[in-house]
Amino acid sequence: MEKKLLHQQPRYVKSAIMAFLLALSFGYFAGFKFIFNTTGLKSGGIEENYLGNEDNEEAEVMKFKKSENELITTIHTHAISFSLIFGALGFLLYHTTLNRRLKALLMIEPFISVVLSFGGIWLMWLGADWMKYVVMVSGMGITVGFVMAVLVIIYGLYFRKAQ
């Protein structure tokens, strides 16, 4: 059985996929705004968010080190959610005309970044302070992967590759 590419789908399927991408992007960037608010997108902000800042008497907002249960809950929910998000995007990417190697990269890399990000948060919480840099870089990988996948899928919905 031959796979149908996105641009070959009926209009109502394309509309449903587009609605899914818009709703997913809305949720993703709301979460991104939360990360911006809690960390300032800085390595020190990541560290402070999970390890607290009670030693800093000049801090505007007092933060305490996350408990192990809080950390496990965060890692659990985010790892599962991101896996499902990138699984759905990977399925849609499979049905595009994108070069196979680029497609494979966009389908696999986000899962690696999710493990590095949330594994890095765990290791940072356990005392490996330098993991904040791994968390920051892998978090960028998650965001770049998300944006690129969504753009490629939107392109794939409405344009077919020139033969």
The secondary structure of residue 162, as a DSSP letter, is -
- Domain segments of the chain as ranges: 19-158
pTM assigned to the model:
0.93
Ranges of H-type helices in 10-130? 11-39, 43-51, 68-94, 100-126
Q: What are phi and psi of 52, to 5 degrees?
A: 85, 175
Q: Which residues contact 47 (CB under 8 A, 6 or more apart)?
A: 124, 129, 132
- 129: helix, coil or strand? coil
- Give the pLDDT confidence of 3-18 residue by residue, as tens digits: 899 999 999 999 999 9
Rounded to an integer, what distance in angstroms lies between the CA atom of residue 11 and that of residue 34?
35
pLDDT of residue 153: 98
Average pLDDT over all residues of the chain: 95
- Give the pLDDT confidence of 112-154 residue by residue, as tens digits: 999 999 999 999 999 999 999 999 999 999 999 999 999 999 9
DSSP string covering 49-79, please? HHHB-TT-TT-SS--BPPPHHHHHHHHHHHH
Structure tokens at 143: 């965001």
